[in-house]
Structure 1
Amino acid sequence: MSTVSRLEIMDTTLRDGEQMQNVSYTAEEKLTLSKILLTEVKVDRLEITSARVSEGEKKTVQKILHWAQDAGFADRFEILSFIDGDRSVKWAQSVGIQRLNLLTKGSYKHCSEQLRKTPEQHIDDIRATVNAIAENGLQANVYLEDFSNGIKDSPQYVFDLIEALNELPVQRILLPDTLGIFNPFQTYEYVSQVIQRYPDTHFEFHPHNDYGVGTANALAAAKAGVKGIHATVNGMGERAGNAPLDEVVISIRDFLDVDINIDETKLHKVSQYVEMFSGQRMAHNKPIYGKNVFTQTAGIHADGDKKGQLYSNPLKPERFNRKTKYALGKLSGKANLDMCLRELDIEISEEEKQVLLQKIIELGDKKEVITIEDLPYLILDVFEMPENRPFKLLYCSINSTYQLKPVAAIKCAYHDRVVEAYSHGNGGYDAFMNALQEALFEFNIPMPQLLDYSVTIPPGGQTNALVQAAISWRIKKNGKPLTVTTRGVDPDQNMAAIEATVKMINTIISHTL
């Protein structure tokens, strides 16, 4: 049990999370994420940048704060600031920020070796800066950078610093495990020590994930009694990143009796947006968000769930607007297949089920796993020969020329009709899809909605290596949205994607028309 009943969550995806290598957000992306985090996920505060980063970042923050002021969220934004005279203060005022998170040295080693100052000199500098923040009508929180090493190696330095801060107009003292060196036992021990010594001070914990225990450290700090935790969406951040927002929130909510003002049904959505904007794909087995975390593969698990949810835990996918899925592989049984077919509203005979299950087991022996999205395509492959499929691509030519838009010419057949179409696009595949849309219109076949597109090339592959294109689509079956994945393999990337697309069209015809 924690000693506090209410815990603030400060998200720093747009500041600390952006320190991840090769990650940078545009102004529009930062604004979109700010809106989702504040209005839908409902985090308490956002740390969105560092003062004086660049002129472009200044314009970005101004744009965000313009929205925030109209929406009533201006007091929820914070920036990292520095002991730099009044430059950070003026920067904050120029963009409309009301709260600064002042970076100070939380260990004697950082103070003496990096700043080359005595503790007294550093405290004098902090005092002058905090007073300047307050005199300009702004609010101050203070980071004790390298706190974890400081409290272990120079505790009296840390205590002297906190006592000096408690005499200043400081709202919160932020305790970062800057280098990710704490384990959960140390976190609880040292954070408890500080809180017991200064029970009236608002402390918050800022975990990093270098040992993979960022979430566990956040949980330990919450149990010790901090009043706030910092996190980033998908654990974005420098080195191994920060503690992931979804894991932190759900762990504290489920294991401690603490109120957190987070709408957990929106955590998956914001994770998707960060993955899309950052370009950083998450592991499929990442807790809460990962693609596979609500997927059962073993037949005994599916059978137990079918008979009474015997293999479920408190992390029910419905909490996050997701669903339990039953993958199909060599460990699968008839229960897996039955539950997948029921979800897709597909009916086949018992004999066909046995044939299909045998094919699934054969694929499993080759280290392939069939998901519910793959199943319609697999059924098509098993029970319909290519020459018997109703939709055929008879001819396709894609022409790409430097500084000119690619063009595609196609000839398609559907039953007894043949249609030719021609179009251009922003890429070869885009040109093909535009031409295909014209042909499908003539055939009165609905165009599927493309959700995701990934290309896999074997490691060490040569220029003539086979390419696999996996495309996820959204279609409607009996008025209900359905996600289906098809795959194509070819030495040419465009042709692999086209093969996957043609399979998708035949899936639509077989299962929706």
Structure 2
Amino acid sequence: MDELGVDVIEAGSAITSDGERESIRAIASAGLNAEICSFARAHRKDIDAALDCDVDSLHLVVPVSDLHIERKLRSDRESVLRKAVEATEYAKAHGLIVELSGEDASRADLDYLESIYRATIEAGADRLCFCDTVGVLLPERTAEIFQRLRSLGKPVSIHCHDDFGMATANTVAALRNGAMQAHVTINGLGERAGNTSLEEVVMCLENLYGIRTGIKCNLLYQISRVVSKKTGIPVAPNKAIVGENAFTHEAGIHVHGLIADTSTYEPMRPEQVGRKRRIVLGKMSGRAAVELALREFGITVNEEQLNEIVSRVKELGDKGKRVSDADLQSIADTVLSRELKPRVLLEELTVVSGNRVTPTASVKLILDGRETLEAGAGVGPVDAAVNAVRRAISGVTDIRLEEYHVDAITGGTNALVEVWVTMAIGDRSITARGAGADIIMASVEAVLEGINRLMLLEDR
């Protein structure tokens, strides 16, 4: 995130646990350019915990709606205002930058909210924050509120949730009407429907409003992938900017337009956010898409052969199947009466996995006619099996696994699964798939299909 160019990193809530404090201390001592912040309630113990982590600033949050004050805190407006002032004074006296945040501000009385803001400014608050805690703001209402709040004389932030899918719109409306900072998260992670998505706000400002944000946009996809992997929370395929389908095209009319001019069906260049354009094949694909894909694999066909390949691609699509690169090559080989002679064949696979046992796998491959034995370990049985295969071919070619995805085709513990992989060598990549009730075998099948197809491309 620091390399990306964000200004403030809220590293956690120091009062949460020993592990959280250890993490915040590590981030605070990492020598980053960004200001490092801790979330805190208006309690001295929260502030002391943040001080113990050596952070630069405090995101000091106080409930400001009557609903939160009366139902959650069982308190009153005067008490909340007093605690907000006392907490601000205490944090400032200990050298912290303070951003005073009004929780549930979008359902609060604005006059009362403004009185808290003004009182904490007098107490030393450096910044203020307006929180749309349950995502009920509308862009036009957001604009009105921030036109009023910008008269306070201190920077005001916007913090939105996406319960109604309005987080990005409300955040941009706030920034266009006086907000100086936006609270955002990678991939829109957050409570319930999530918080405002960093990548959506950045690209909206950069591309639609021509506002330079200082963010290195070409790193957006990379950091999205890292966060998804570390959190174990997948990104929806149709997620704006970073979803796998954001720059993927299938429909024939779209691909035809892209060939003429990419701006016909792309509002931004994929390279701008660290992406690549993908043409996928299915029942919506036309001749132009299929011919373009074949050309990328160095396959030349005549009109009659192209028509036959397109027909078979659509036939697969009509069965509800996505057509992988390996599928297309296989179809082309059949139509052209070419027989693929795989350079790598699986003879045996043994996997050991269990409680308190590091998953390991051993494989016997026939590689260019020679028998090869290799073993590998991994975080799980699939990882171990794939690592064993990669080790077995490492002396011949340097092929890497870039993406791995599993879909359950049927239900139950004996579900039929479909495994999709993207394999790459140098700057060339290929998608392949395997299917079966055994996820390990399906994974190895997909990986070997990808390896053989890439090696075939190398030989051409």
Q: Same fold (TM over 0.5)?
A: yes
Partner of 1:38: 2
Give the structure-1-normalised TM-score: 0.82
Q: Which of 35, 40, 46 lines up with 1:81 in the alignment?
A: 40
Letter in 2 for 1:268: Y
Conserved in 2, the CA contact under 8 Å of 1:80 and 1:103? yes
Q: 1:175 aligns to what SS in structure 2?
A: strand
Instruction: Assess, with a 3 A threshold, how the Cα gap between structure 1 residues 499 and 203 changes in structure 2: closer, same or farther.
Output: same
Alpha-carbon separation, structure 1, partners of 2:416 and 2:74:
58
Letter in 2 for 1:59: E
Conserved in 2, the CA contact under 8 Å of 1:223 and 1:256? no
Conserved in 2, the CA contact under 8 Å of 1:235 and 1:241? yes
Report the Cα offset of residue 257 of structure 1.
5.3
Report the Cα offset of residue 394 of structure 1.
5.7
Conserved in 1, the CA contact under 8 Å of 2:281 and 2:289? yes
Unaligned 5+ residue runs, structure 1? 1-36
Q: Which of 387, 395, 401 lines up with 1:450 in the alignment?
A: 401
Alpha-carbon separation, structure 2, partners of 1:348 and 1:175:
60
Q: Which of 153, 158, 175 lines up with 1:200 in the alignment?
A: 153
2:432 is equivalent to residue 486 of structure 1: yes
Partner of 1:100: 58
Conserved in 2, the CA contact under 8 Å of 1:218 and 1:229? yes
1:145-166 deviation per Cα after TM superposition (whole angstroms, max 9, x unaligned): 110000xxx2322232222123
Partner of 1:114: 72
Conserved in 2, the CA contact under 8 Å of 1:377 and 1:507? no
**Which sits farther off after the overlay, 221-230 or 114-123?**
114-123
- Aligned-residue identity in percent: 28
Alpha-carbon separation, structure 1, partners of 2:183 and 2:253:
40
Instruction: Assess, with a 3 A threshold, how the Cα gap between structure 1 residues 128 and 464 changes in structure 2: closer, same or farther.
Output: closer
Report the Cα offset of residue 408 of structure 1.
2.5
1:183-229 deviation per Cα after TM superposition (whole angstroms, max 9, x unaligned): 2222222332333xx25232111010000111111111112211111
Conserved in 2, the CA contact under 8 Å of 1:356 and 1:379? no
Partner of 2:216: 263
2:111 is equivalent to residue 156 of structure 1: yes
Alpha-carbon separation, structure 1, partners of 2:234 and 2:115:
43
Letter in 2 for 1:208: H
Answer 1 or 2: higher relative contact order, Cα 8 Å, separation at least 6: 1
Report the Cα offset of residue 283 of structure 1.
1.2
Q: CA RMSD in A?
A: 2.5
Alpha-carbon separation, structure 1, partners of 2:158 and 2:141:
13
Alignment of 1:244-283 (within 5 A): 244-256=197-209, 258-283=211-236
2:460 is equivalent to residue 509 of structure 1: no
Report the Cα offset of residue 123 of structure 1.
2.0
Conserved in 1, the CA contact under 8 Å of 2:147 and 2:177? yes
Partner of 1:7: none
Conserved in 1, the CA contact under 8 Å of 2:100 and 2:117? no
Alpha-carbon separation, structure 2, partners of 1:133 and 1:428:
50
Alignment of 1:37-436 (within 5 A): 37-39=1-3, 41-68=4-31, 71-73=32-34, 76-85=35-44, 87-150=45-108, 154-195=109-150, 198-256=151-209, 258-309=211-262, 311-342=264-295, 344-350=296-302, 351-370=304-323, 374-383=324-333, 389-391=341-343, 393=345, 395-400=347-352, 402=354, 406-412=360-366, 414=368, 417-426=369-378, 428-430=381-383, 432-433=385-386, 435-436=388-389
Conserved in 1, the CA contact under 8 Å of 2:131 and 2:160? yes
Alpha-carbon separation, structure 1, partners of 2:121 and 2:175:
21
Report the Cα offset of residue 367 of structure 1.
2.5
Q: 1:512 aligns to what SS in structure 2?
A: helix
Conserved in 1, the CA contact under 8 Å of 2:404 and 2:419? yes
Report the Cα offset of residue 171 of structure 1.
0.8
Instruction: Assess, with a 3 A threshold, how the Cα gap between structure 1 residues 394 and 235 changes in structure 2: closer, same or farther.
Output: closer
Q: 1:38 aligns to what SS in structure 2?
A: coil
2:429 is equivalent to residue 471 of structure 1: no
Partner of 2:444: 498
Q: 1:356 aligns to what SS in structure 2?
A: helix
Give the structure-2-normalised TM-score: 0.90
Instruction: Assess, with a 3 A threshold, how the Cα gap between structure 1 residues 191 and 361 changes in structure 2: closer, same or farther.
Output: same
Alpha-carbon separation, structure 1, partners of 2:149 and 2:238:
36
Q: 1:468 aligns to what SS in structure 2?
A: strand
Conserved in 2, the CA contact under 8 Å of 1:412 and 1:439? no
Letter in 2 for 1:162: Y
Unaligned 5+ residue runs, structure 2? none
**Which sits farther off after the overlay, 284-293 or 308-317?**
308-317
Report the Cα offset of residue 106 of structure 1.
1.8
Instruction: Assess, with a 3 A threshold, how the Cα gap between structure 1 residues 446 and 142 changes in structure 2: closer, same or farther.
Output: same
Report the Cα offset of residue 313 of structure 1.
4.5
Conserved in 1, the CA contact under 8 Å of 2:282 and 2:316? yes
Q: Work out the number of aligned pairs and report it.
A: 453
Q: 1:339 aligns to what SS in structure 2?
A: helix
